[in-house]
Structure 1
Amino acid sequence: MSTITTTDDLAAFCMRAAAAPYVTVDTEFLRERTYYSKLCLVQLAIPGDDPSNAVLVDPLADGLDLGPLYELFRDHGTVKVFHAARQDLEIFAIEGDVIPEPLFDTQVAAMVCGFGEQVGYETLARKIARAQIDKSSRFTDWSRRPLLDSQKRYALADVTHLRDIYEHLSAELDRTQRRAWVEEEMAVLRDPATYRTEPADAWKRLKMRNPTPRFVAIAQRLASFRETYAQSNDVPRSRVFKDDALLELASLKPRDPKDLGKARLLLREGRRDPVAAGILQAVEGGLAVPKEDLPSLPQPKSRDQSNAALADLLRVLLKAMSERAGVASKLIATASDLDDIAAGARDGIWSKGWRAKVFGRDALRLCNGEIALACEGNAVRVVPLGETVTDG
């Protein structure tokens, strides 16, 4: 099991990878005690059974520069293959300011090819590569050195079997002419904004129930302070203070350290400077917002109960269309999307691109009374109004 610990060796492998049609990629990282993921290992594999075609890259090795890897990521001649790529891509977007191109995510491709909702790597390895993954090293400290042989075998398996998975799914996409469907899904993963959390937008993560505008103004500033502090000090936002403490503070509106002491949910770390000072400053900023400038949460979409039957019909239609297409239904539309359509929405991700062809157009036709649904044995089919429905 080859482990790369020098920049020259990494450059040599990346040169080989640049001549290959694809390279499979995975990472091991830690994030329990930091805001940003700590990259501990990179796994790479190119086609072929030669043991030298699969390597581990140790980013913790003294003097190792990942520059050659980032150059490979920018090389459009080699497809970069990941499984459930988002967390891996976030690391490279932040540490290397690079998002691999071209990009292929086997989890997304598997959903398009009928393997179900967010199918795991172990399932695909078993079904496609006929391999069993040893999970014993999954929850391990990847920052400790030296790595055990069991850890290395586990890490390499994440990219060696991925070669078979990619080749199978790629061929299936060509056979079904659905490669463009996966490309549509890659747009979000290729967008650098996907991996940035702006402090000013951090409040949108909060679950606030019918708050007052003043409450929202304070919560916005508390969330912005917490995000800025967490990013600057590379600590998890929950280590600054948790969401429930933030919402309690927005309700209490503490003006001084004595008021801060009344917060039941604020842990000891949050009562010390500079966090305590930041909390009081954020509250003061929220209280100072003029009444006419106060924010408010968007009003929830009205979902008339009279549309419940239509929502149920849309669920039947979605299930039928997803099964017919062999695509995971949640990739087409969510339960919330169906409720929105039943309540009058006529635009959404479900109404664009390949989703419109598979489901969206028929969903709108159903809402407009242009089609009906009929059972034929165990199947459901779309019936244009005016067509005679015969017994199945």
Structure 2
Amino acid sequence: MHIHPLITDSESLKSLCDRLAQSDFVAVDTEFMRENSYWPELCLIQIGNREEAAAVDPKADGIDLTPLLDLMVDNEDVLKVFHAGGQDIEIVYNLTGKTPHPLFDTQIAAMALGLGEQVGYSNLVESLVGKTLDKGARFTDWARRPLDKRQIDYAIGDVTHLATLFPKMLERLRRTGRGDWLDEEMERLADPSNYENEADLAWKRVRISSRKADVLGRLKALAAWRENEAKAKNLPRGRIMKDETLADVASHPPAGQEGLARVRGLSPAWGGNDIGGRLMAALAAAKPLPADEMPGREERGPGLGKEGALVADLLKLLLKIRAREGNVAARLIAKSEELEMLAAGRREGLSILTGWRFDEFGRDALDLVEGRLAFAVKGGKLMMTRTEHSQ
């Protein structure tokens, strides 16, 4: 594989992208910093195929990333391959308003192949490619310039190994017949709604015990205010106000701005400064959360009761058995919340009751809940048996 020098000019980038646009797939990775900012700061983009790979410096003076971004979001003929690509996809979405498509995530594919619940990239490369990765530059300051050779070599190594890894995984998926399993997962990963940070929805990420409409209305207003403050200042949300402080103010709002000086987690200066004034204005404008926006009880988990909880435990045991038998990560098949909903009597809207999940697990799970399947111990081994009720 040919490794290009660090690309810092538009002409070289366009030439590379023109060639990569003829590939059936490209491996993609990014390096970024986000510890001190709201928006992730893109510091390096690595991309390659079977024949060539390069690192691209998005901070280089005058470089035009358009050909690369067009390849990511507008070229439907080239598959984009990531590993645990959620944050990489978020960066592309922030730059273009679109997500890479079509895409393939090797971490998700590894679950379908029974290689682990959330297998790390280095472990996957070592297992399937037989290479040990140098992790020495992993926590480097990618924003600092110039980048040294070790940093660039480390970064490019991620996509060169990914370009070797992907075909091996694809062949395994074809042999096992599980390629179709991943279509739904990849489409979900590519869904732009995953990467939208709408201020009016920010309250849903904040944990709060109250289910009172007035409290949740204040939470919604405060979370939207914080989101907009964080975006405007390009600071992490927690630098503006931590979640627990936000929930506390929504639950126990001060009578006036001076009361902010006594709120744990806020600087006393908020009792009289501009940001404190904007917070109080958001509180004053808050309205009780409308009935159609109130979180349903299912978001808190269904009311299982003692018997239902036991049924949910049996479903979790069944899931472990079926995952082990099928050599697939249990997490890919079902989440605990779905098992609890099934145990509580829900049948609609559960992914385990549709598609391949139903064939692999859902049918037996439904039979267990409805009394057509039971656990038994035969010869010292735990087995599933059909009951007389199922005849």
Compute the TM-score of the two structures, normalised by the length of structure 1.
0.92
Corresponding residue for residue 50 of structure 2:
47
Letter in 1 for 2:134: D
Separation of aligned partners in 1, 2:291 and 2:53: 58
Letter in 1 for 2:316: R
- Match of residue 369, structure 1, among 363, 368, 371: 371
Q: 1:352/1:173 Cα in 2 relative to 1: closer, same or farther (>3 Å)?
A: same
Separation of aligned partners in 2, 1:66 and 1:338: 45
Tell me how far 1:179 sits from its aligned partner: 1.1
Residues 64-95 of structure 1 show CA distances to partners (whole Å, capped at 9, x for unaligned) of 11111122222222211100111000100111
Please give the root-mean-square deviation of Cα atoms over the aligned residues, in Å. 2.2
Corresponding residue for residue 261 of structure 1:
261
Q: 1:271/1:175 Cα in 2 relative to 1: closer, same or farther (>3 Å)?
A: farther
Tell me how far 1:63 sits from its aligned partner: 0.7
The count of corresponding residues between Structure 1 and Structure 2 is 382
Tell me how far 1:124 sits from its aligned partner: 0.4
| Aligned pairs for 1:29-48 within 5 A | 29-48=32-51
Separation of aligned partners in 2, 1:80 and 1:312: 39
Separation of aligned partners in 2, 1:294 and 1:172: 46
Separation of aligned partners in 2, 1:290 and 1:161: 53
Contact preservation (8 Å) 2:227, 2:237: yes
Contact preservation (8 Å) 2:54, 2:156: yes
Q: Does 1:75 align with 2:78?
A: no
Corresponding residue for residue 335 of structure 2:
334
Q: 1:233/1:379 Cα in 2 relative to 1: closer, same or farther (>3 Å)?
A: farther
Tell me how far 1:218 sits from its aligned partner: 1.1
- Match of residue 7, structure 1, among 10, 18, 32: 10
Tell me how far 1:164 sits from its aligned partner: 2.0
Q: 1:129/1:339 Cα in 2 relative to 1: closer, same or farther (>3 Å)?
A: same
Secondary structure of the residue aligned to 1:76 is coil
Q: 1:270/1:67 Cα in 2 relative to 1: closer, same or farther (>3 Å)?
A: farther
Corresponding residue for residue 104 of structure 2:
104
Separation of aligned partners in 1, 2:317 and 2:160: 40
Gaps of at least 5 residues in structure 1 are: none
Separation of aligned partners in 1, 2:381 and 2:337: 24
Letter in 2 for 1:352: T
Q: Does 1:62 align with 2:61?
A: yes
Separation of aligned partners in 1, 2:243 and 2:267: 12
Corresponding residue for residue 135 of structure 1:
135
| Aligned pairs for 1:348-359 within 5 A | 348-359=350-361
Letter in 2 for 1:162: L
Compute the TM-score of the two structures, normalised by the length of structure 2.
0.92
Contact preservation (8 Å) 1:2, 1:55: yes
Contact preservation (8 Å) 1:113, 1:326: yes
Give percent identity, aligned residues only.
38
Tell me how far 1:377 sits from its aligned partner: 5.6
| Aligned pairs for 1:158-169 within 5 A | 158-169=158-169
Q: 1:139/1:267 Cα in 2 relative to 1: closer, same or farther (>3 Å)?
A: farther
Contact preservation (8 Å) 1:214, 1:294: no
Judge which range, 291-300 or 152-161, deviates more: 291-300
Letter in 1 for 2:39: Y
Residues 328-385 of structure 1 show CA distances to partners (whole Å, capped at 9, x for unaligned) of 1011112222222222222312222211111111111111111223345676443222
Contact preservation (8 Å) 1:216, 1:295: no
